[in-house]
Amino acid sequence: MTIIVTGGAGFIGSNFIFYMLEKYPDYHIVCLDKLTYAGNLSTLVPIMDNSNFRFVKADICDRAAVYKLFEEEKPDIIVNFAAESHVDRSIETPDIFLKTNIMGTAVLMDACRKYGIKRYHQVSTDEVYGDLPLDRPDMFFTEETPIQTSSPYSSSKAGADLLVLAYHRTYGLPVSISRCSNNYGPYHFPEKLIPLIIANALNDKPLPVYGTGENVRDWLYVKDHCIAIDLIIHNGKIGEIYNVGGHNEMRNIDIVKLICKELGKSERLITFVTDRKGHDLRYAIDPSKIYNELGWFPKTKFKDGIKKTIEWYLNNREWWETIISGEYKNYYEKMYGNR
């Protein structure tokens, strides 16, 4: 079995590759990644010598490079993680989100049509459903919830999802889609809430909370997401969408306070800053379908997952300090300098 994992040098993709190499010692895993600011080859160093693993630096929008790789590897399955993934960046520069997230998806699927594959799996997000009101805890996103996006990021992911479904209907491409809630865990890029707060707290820097901090996210430990994708690519129905969520809704402010507590840092570091434009209020997934069809449920409780995550950031300071001392410094100054 040969699987091409795109975006495997990023947060979830790298965790997925580690999980798959360990679980399936006879699989050949090929990582295709452009190594944007979010891709980190140092993450993959421990597996670079594994004979079942190959890394290829390429852009999913580069048709010639993608076709060449398909010709060489003759993959059975494609799992597409490659994307521009940060909402705040999409508000500043939407173009690259449209290019990578929509056009890149089309190029990958064209390659699938040309060379033939068993399955194309699109890693999508609950953000395609827009948001839910804060005062309706009875409401959840199901696979039938209409698409209603808020940001250029979520619109680009929704556009890609529609294209994936269209390739299935029009060309009969064997596809599946997973729409997951917020992930957290090792190798999470420190521009996202949890790793940013951990890194800032460890450096006694202000902890920026957008608006009032009452927005709610449904947090899932990244390994549980990897397990869900593994189940879907092996047993999920072709042409179907699966919601993946943690049953774990938390307000941003409570997450930030919890991290302060775990690290023994003062809550006085918390700084309320200007809200994100179009900020989604609440995400909450109903994962009944994947539970009923594939037996998946989130195994890691948030209280354990967040401890493991904090421990990882404490033990891997070099990984994230290299990031925050490099080019990312300019981004941070631009986004938070006058906020």
Binding of residue 193 to ligand TDX (CB under 6 A): yes
Binding of residue 122 to ligand TDX (CB under 6 A): no
Binding of residue 81 to ligand NAD (CB under 6 A): yes
Rounded CA separation 236/231 (Å): 7
86 vs 265, beta carbon nearer ligand TDX: 86
Among 34, 119, 192, 225, binds ligand TDX (CB under 6 A): 192
Rounded CA separation 260/197 (Å): 9
Q: Which one of ligand NAD, ligand TDX, none is in contact with 89 (Cβ closer than 5 to 8 A by kind)?
A: none
| Strands of the 53-57 sheet, one edge to the other | 53-57, 28-33, 2-6, 77-80, 119-125, 175-180, 241-244
Binding of residue 155 to ligand NAD (CB under 6 A): no
* Shortest Å, Cβ 188 to ligand NAD: 7
* H helix intervals, 175-316: 193-202, 222-235, 252-263, 288-294, 302-315
Q: Are 52 and 21 in contact (CB under 8 A)?
A: yes
Binding of residue 252 to ligand TDX (CB under 6 A): yes
Binding of residue 193 to ligand NAD (CB under 6 A): no
| 89 contacts: CB under 8 Å, gap ≥ 6 | 97, 153, 191, 331
80 vs 182, beta carbon nearer ligand TDX: 182
Rounded CA separation 186/175 (Å): 28
Q: Would you call 250 helix, strand, or coil by DSSP? A: strand
What b/e readout covers 289-320, taking b as 16+ CB neighbours within 10 angstroms?
Answer: bbeeebebebebebeebbeebbebbeeeeebb
Residue 221 β-bridge partners: 184
Binding of residue 196 to ligand TDX (CB under 6 A): yes
Binding of residue 98 to ligand NAD (CB under 6 A): no
127 is catalytic: yes
Q: Which one of ligand NAD, ligand TDX, none is in contact with 59 (Cβ closer than 5 to 8 A by kind)?
A: ligand NAD
Binding of residue 6 to ligand TDX (CB under 6 A): no
Q: Which residues within the stretch 254-293 sit at the binding site for ligand TDX (CB under 6 A)?
A: 276
Binding of residue 157 to ligand NAD (CB under 6 A): yes
Binding of residue 9 to ligand NAD (CB under 6 A): yes
- DSSP string covering 266-301, please? -GGGEEEEPPPTT---B--B--HHHHHHH-----S-
Among 90, 125, 150, 300, binds ligand NAD (CB under 6 A): 125
Binding of residue 198 to ligand NAD (CB under 6 A): no
Q: Which residues within the stretch 43-72 sit at the binding site for ligand NAD (CB under 6 A)?
A: 59-61
Binding of residue 85 to ligand TDX (CB under 6 A): yes
* Number of residues that this document lists for the chain: 339
Rounded CA separation 211/134 (Å): 14
Binding of residue 13 to ligand NAD (CB under 6 A): yes
Q: Which residues within the stretch 248-277 sit at the binding site for ligand NAD (CB under 6 A)?
A: none
Give the active site residues: 126-127, 153
User: Which chain residues interact with ligand NAD by CB under 6 A?
Assistant: 6-7, 9-13, 33-36, 38-39, 59-61, 81-85, 100, 104, 123, 125, 157, 180, 182-183, 189
User: Which chain residues interact with ligand TDX by CB under 6 A?
Assistant: 85-87, 125, 127, 182, 192-193, 196, 208-210, 215, 217, 252, 276
